Structure 1
Amino acid sequence: MSDTPASGYVRRLSSWDAAMIVVGGIIGGGIFLNPGIAAQRTESGLALLLVWVGAGVLTLIGALCYAELGARRPHAGGSYVYLREAFGSLAGFLFGWTMLLVIYSGSAAAVATIFASYASGVFGLPPGTVKPLAAGALVFVAGINLFGLKLGAQVQNLFTLLKLLAVAVLVVCGLFLAGANGAGVLAADPARGNVGFIGAALPVLFAYSGFTYLNNLAGEVREPQRTLPRSLFMGMLLVIAVYALVNVAYLAVLGHAGLAASTTPAADVMNRVFGPIGAKLIAIGIAISTLGFCNITLVAGARVLQVMGEDGLFFRSVAKLHPQHRTPNVALLLLSGWAVLLALSGSYGQLLDYATFGDWLACALGVATLFWYRRTQGAEASFRVPGYPLLPLIFVGVVGWVVIETMRSNPVNAGIGVLIMLAGIPVYYIWRRLFPLAASAD
């Protein structure tokens, strides 16, 4: 494989870098915040752990499907490229449109706000500093990546290692220092009723979002046919193990009822072990974790916009790579700037709902393209998802079920998310009329 793909990117990311991107793109703020919500919707510690592990296995299936897609198309753009090739340029454009407006930008803005909330609490800053601090965090991570992906990857590796250290401290404190009773971890909570898999799965699935980000950077990964499958598989196994252990720690210290009543379970565990100092230490760890998530989200999204610009489905200026660093700086600044505006708007809660809904819908459609590739190009590939076609069908079916149930249970936010996607259809046709060269992308 050449070091410089046709797109002009340089393959600088090692297997270690790729694995850290997988882990860093998934572990953000969800594992520190959402277990309490999931506990409210389950009747026991056992049920809660089954939901977390089950959602992890589902995500692992999706990651294996994306491993084959990445091996077949080891270029920048990820889901956009797969959707464009399998379903046409309109499908690719709608993904890029939604990615820019809410999925990546909304996720980055929402998680940057979580960073700012924890950071302001650690340093005793007034509430009015949260929005500016969130915007500053986005500017900071974007600025790092203007000077080359290798520097950005080194910073991302540091963020990921620090967040894993914070998780390790939390698990050790929960399991070994709090005098926890292991039998109580799986105990039932008589005050809770089971609302079904979907109700508990939604906050859990949000915590697993981001496993597709590495594919967006496939044009910069060394030996991508070998590295992408290995990094996706190993990274997902690590995330599933981390999430299971953290939830065991929460249950061991707080119990199912205590976890269901907690909005900040990580801080509650550390506060019970070390007092206020422990809560402040884990707040720093959460801030670092969220900052790393914002970093990889913006970097991955910028590659999608850059490829769209090359295809003529977006402004040609965003297709430009920096002559020295080979980074899509215009695309990065555009995506980061929009994310900053969203963070300053203060509507991050709704944006997070739209982003989660759109992200998993895009994941299901991305996996569905695998059937098109197998039909048109055959089964020959450097990596093939095991259990085909059963595993991809399971992933598409379960995620489709979750999307439909989300629309039924939260029709307003889901409906707005759908409208945002559909609004891209007239924009696409207006764009093609104004810029006829976009027709060459079909």
Structure 2
Amino acid sequence: MTHNPVESSESQRASDSSPAGELGGPDHQPRRFGFWAAYFLVVASMVGAGILTSSGFTLHDTANPAGLMVIWTLGGILALCGTVTIAELATMLPRAGSDYLFVREAFGREAGIVVGWATFVLGFAAPTAVVGRLSANYLSIPLTSHFDFGSAAAYLEPSLATLFVGVLMAIHCLGHRESSGVQVLSTLVKICLLVGLVVIGLSFGEGDWGHFAASHVPDSNEFFTLGIGLIYVSYAYTGWNAAAYVAGEVRDPERLLPKSLIAGCASVMGLYLLVNLTYVFALDPQEMTQLSIPEVIPVAQLAAKQLFGSQVADVVSILLGLGMLASVSAYMLSGPRIAFAMANDGAFPRFAAKLHDRRQTPVAAIVVQGLIAIGMVWSGPFLDILNYTAIGLAVVSGLVVASIFPLRNRANLPHPYRLPLYPLPPVLYLLLMGWIVATGLMQDVQGLQLEEPRLPTTMLSLLTILLGLPVAYFLARRKQAS
């Protein structure tokens, strides 16, 4: 990736002299990322655990291909609504911090701290653990089918995930060039694998278009089940705002940020719909209902096995496991920028605000996120971690999108980009997010009424957000006293 020092310096000075610079505070980060680095960051952040797991749950619970395609289309529309909204916010305030910065300027410093805290934990550390675990799961499928690991098999997945997080944490500490290179290369590998699964699978695979005949109009119980499926789908689309997290490091943000955000989200939506089409072509919906939940989690591996046979499926499983490292990389690149911006504002421990003297990367923040993610890797089963982060992200993203209403008419902010059809996109997004949270809480209530109660992951996720309230109060009092 090329870098023009003069252009970067001029962009930084222009940003610092703008109203956005005054609001965001000086972050002194060099603007070295261009369109493609930001675009691939969005794509890599979105294409992760969700597309490789969520469809298996829906087919298992409903055996309804049409319902599957509908919720993935609805999830894509939801993501686009959020994307155009965040594009306007990011061009108003093209600084490091994104969620924290937008909510802080819209609703006050305390609200910004709560959202920043939740974003760092639920939006980056937890998804890093989720994708790390799923990557290890896909990689371990061929290993456990050919080798007997005995009692060590239970530790194989979290051990591999820990290794992945640790290695990528070190790479992102090295510098911008290394970060961009890993991001572009790993994302290209993953996208090529999914595109190959679609093109080769639909052209030469052993599938059946007759599987779509199982489509039907859902009854009331199935509507609720599809609503739960939409929770997982909305999680699969998270990451549409990824480029905004490095807004303080993107050249010409007023022009490149909207392009990279919208292009990335639209590309992923098209890819997701094609991948789900391939899943239905490959997998008999009725047979999916006969499998256990752990068996349907690696749905892409199941589809590859049906399309190409066991040997090819093992290769695909390994390649997808490696390709998912792009998402781990994206989270390790974006998340520390939240901690960096908050630390500069006195809302996070000061060590997170320090850049490496030579490499100019937030090393301390990267290491903290990596260590939290490794802790979550060992905290429980994959599905519990996924459920824990999905609802919290819905709430946080809703608060961020709602920031557009008080900020849009601020006269002291630049407005180089205005989202189309305002206020419809943010209103639609907030309505659907509210419905998703309500569905998650209903699922928790039903789970607690079982003979063997399920862990109320939605409530735990909301509790994590609420824990930010005393933190925000303490930090606000400390800042007033200083």
* TM-score bracket, shorter-length normalisation: over 0.9
Residue 56 of structure 1 contacts residue 240 of structure 1 at CA under 8 Å; is this kept in 2?
A: yes
Residue 239, structure 1, aligned to residue 268, structure 2: yes
Report the Cα offset of residue 198 of structure 1.
1.5
Given that residues 8 and 321 in structure 1 are in contact (C-alpha distance below 8 angstroms), is that contact kept between their aligned partners in structure 2?
no
SS at match of 1:146: helix
Q: 1:123 to 1:357 in 2, by over 3 A?
A: same
1:171 aligns with 2:214: no
Q: CA deviation at 1:214?
A: 1.5
Amino acid at match of 1:357: I
Distance 1:308 1:86 in 2: 15
Distance 2:180 2:415 in 1: 28
User: What secondary structure sits across from 2:357 in the alignment?
Assistant: coil
Deviation at 1:191, TM superposition (A): 11
Rounded to whole Å, the distance in 2 between the matches of 1:321 and 1:186 is 57
TM score, norm. by length of structure 1: 0.92
Are residues 1:386 and 2:420 paired?
Answer: yes
8 A contact 2:232–2:390 mirrored in 1: no
SS in structure 1 at match of 2:124: helix
Mapped contact 2:118–2:396 kept (Cα < 8 A): no
Measure, in 2, the Cα distance between the counterparts of 1:88 and 1:288. 41
Q: Structure 1, unaligned stretches of length 5 or more?
A: none
Q: How does 1:112-261 map to 2 (within 5 A)?
A: 112-124=132-144, 126=149, 127=153, 128-178=155-205, 180-182=207-209, 184-185=211-212, 187-188=214-215, 194-196=222-224, 197-260=226-289, 261=291
The aligned runs of 1:241-320 (5 Å cut-off) are 241-260=270-289, 261=291, 262-320=296-354
Tell me if structure 1 keeps the 8 A contact 2:207–2:282. yes
User: 2:330 and 2:431 mapped to 1: Cα distance?
Assistant: 28
Say if 1:25 and 1:213, in contact at 8 Å, map to a contact too. Answer: yes
8 A contact 2:139–2:322 mirrored in 1: no
- Residue 97 of structure 1, aligned match among 87, 106, 117: 117
How many residues align? The count is 438
Aligned with residue 356 of structure 1, among 383, 390, 411: 390
Unaligned runs of 5+ in 2: 1-7, 16-25, 446-455
Distance 2:463 2:119 in 1: 14
- Which secondary structure state, in structure 1, belongs to the residue aligned with residue 320 of structure 2? helix
Does the aligned pair in 1 maintain the 2:211–2:283 contact within 8 Å? no
Question: Alpha-carbon deviation of 1:344?
Answer: 2.5
**2:176 aligned partner, one-letter code:** L
Alpha carbons 1:41, 1:195 under 8 Å: kept: no
- Following TM superposition, by how much is the alpha carbon of 1:42 offset from its aligned partner in structure 2, in angstroms? 4.2
Distance in 1 between residues matched to 2:409 and 2:11, nearest whole Å: 30
8 Å CA contact 1:35, 1:259 repeated in 2 = no
Partner AA of 1:312 in structure 2 = G
User: 1:65 aligns to what?
Assistant: 85
Distance 1:45 1:437, change over 3 A: same
**Corresponding residue for residue 31 of structure 2:** 11
**8 A Cα contact 1:209 1:356, kept in partner:** no
Distance 1:432 1:200, change over 3 A: closer
- 1:195 match: secondary structure: helix
Secondary structure, in 3 states, of the residue corresponding to 2:419? Answer: coil
Query: Which whole-Å CA distance do the structure 2 matches of 1:317 and 1:88 have between them?
Result: 24
1:252-296 per-position Cα deviation (integer Å, ceiling 9, x unaligned): 121333455544332222222332221112212321232111111
Q: Do structure 1's residue 111 and structure 2's residue 140 form an aligned pair?
A: no
In structure 2, C-alpha distance between the alignment counterparts of 1:210 and 1:109, rounded to whole Å: 15
- Please report the RMSD computed on the Cα atoms of aligned residues, expressed in angstroms: 2.3
d(CA) in 1 for partners of 2:435, 2:248: 33
- TM, length-normalised to structure 2: 0.85
Give 2:114's aligned amino acid.
L
C-alpha deviation, 1:47, in angstroms: 2.2
User: For structure 1, which segment, 391-400 or 168-177, has the greater mean C-alpha deviation from structure 2 after superposition?
Assistant: 168-177
Output one character per residue of 1:142-171: Cα deviation in whole Å (capped at 9) or x when no partner.
111111122111101111111111102211
2:83 counterpart of 1:56: no
Picking from 359, 374, 399, the partner of 1:340 is 374
Q: Percent identity?
A: 29
Does the CA contact (< 8 Å) of 1:103 and 1:354 recur in 2?
Answer: no
- Range 105-114 or range 188-197, more displaced: 188-197
Q: Which residue identity is paired with 1:436?
A: K
Q: Per the alignment, do residues 145 and 301 of structure 1 end up closer, same or farther by CA in structure 2, a change over 3 Å counting? A: same
Kept in 1, the 8 Å contact 2:123–2:393? The answer is yes
Cα deviation, 1:183-233, whole Å, max 9, x if unaligned, reads 543642699973344222112112111212221111111111111111111
With over 3 angstroms needed to count, the CA separation of the structure-2 counterparts of 1:231 and 1:101, relative to structure 1, is: closer
Q: Is the 8 A contact 1:218 1:224 kept in 2?
A: yes
Q: Distance in 1 between matches of 2:139 and 2:480?
A: 47
Shift of the alpha carbon at 1:237?
Answer: 1.2
Residue 424 (str. 1) matches residue 468 (str. 2): yes
Deviation sequence 1:310-353 (CA, Å, 0-9, x none): 00111111101112221111111111111112213335433322
Amino acid at match of 1:136: L
Q: How far apart, in 2, do the equivalents of 1:336 and 1:234 lie? A: 29
